[in-house]
Amino acid sequence: MTSVVVEPACGSTAWVERYGLSAVDTCRLAQLHAADRDGRVFSLEGDLGDFGGLRFAERYPGRFLDMGIAEASLIGAAAGLALRGKVAFVNTFGSFALMRACEQVRLDVAYHRTNVKIAGTFTGVAAGFSGPTHHCGEDLAVARSLPGMTVLAPADAVSAYQLTLAAAQLDGPVYLRLGVEATPQVYDENATFEIGRGNVLAEGADVTLVAAGLTTVATVLEAARQLAARGVHATVIDLHTIKPVDEELLVRSAKATGLVVTVEEHSTIGGLGGAVADVLAGSCPVPMRMLGLPDAFAHDVGSYADQLARCGLDVPGVRAAVESALRRWK
């Protein structure tokens, strides 16, 4: 008798025990499951098979390509597959995909509206000690500026899995922003995701906190809990889709609280904060503060946690910045 393997619900305790909390791994898992459902799905690697992509290679060797450290060729090959009717996932460092191979992403992927999904790892300062060559604080700005590019920033391994599956079904180019290590779990098995719609994780009348991305959303939730203990009640929005942005949700929350603070592990120029400001400036002007990476390269050597603290993107830094914004404007 053939045994039947029962897949645990995504986000459940059993699912986390089986697959872990690395968004890179669960993104690759979702690519594998998307390939199970759709024979058009290919997975292309930029010399990153050791991050979990080998499960795809073992099951679908004819649909797995490791292009090595040649990002321009990697993007071009993915676009070529897409033009032949395939759904091509690209797995490489975010900085290399959107900066080293920016021309190919712009012309081969965005211009032709090819069905290519770019899963960028080591984004923000997740590379820690590797320094500015591997830090990636400009990718959202680049991706947002490309016509027709959908931009997703999952908050944890659960949302990375779900949004990868959603990206596989979306017709057109997608950029998925990932880290590398395991990160805190934000969502459980009851979570739902829709591209273009943000998720409200907490509600409060004093300030709206808009966050996106691994580590960041969990940090903001903890900061909001500490603020609540001090009598400050925040609405927390996970804006996992940065393009197209959820204008209705942002305007509704800004009207309700009168103050918006955005938090992102990205430059404060052109990323999440810019997307939110674009919406509110035209529809609901309210005071805003943008927290993110400074307009400077990281010259101090340090771990991932060190780099986040240096930029004020740890829990104490976010909490203090929100309290400062409240004192200034409310």
Token duo for residue 165: 């599956």
- Per-residue pLDDT tens digits for 108-131: 999 999 999 999 999 999 887 777
Tokens of 204: 């409060």
Q: Report the chain's mean pLDDT, rounded to a whole number.
A: 94
Per-residue pLDDT tens digits for 47-72: 877 666 678 999 999 999 999 889 99
Stretches where the chain sits below pLDDT 50 are: 1-2
CA 25, CA 45: separation in Å to the nearest integer? 13
DSSP symbols for 282-304:
HH----EEEEEE-SS---S---H
How much is the pLDDT for 54?
74
Domains of the chain (ranges plus CATH)?
A: 13-177 (3.40.50.970), 199-329 (3.40.50.920)
φ, ψ for residue 120, nearest 5 deg: -95, 120
Q: What is the pTM of this model?
A: 0.95
Which pLDDT score is estimated for 302? 83
What residues are annotated to the active site? 71
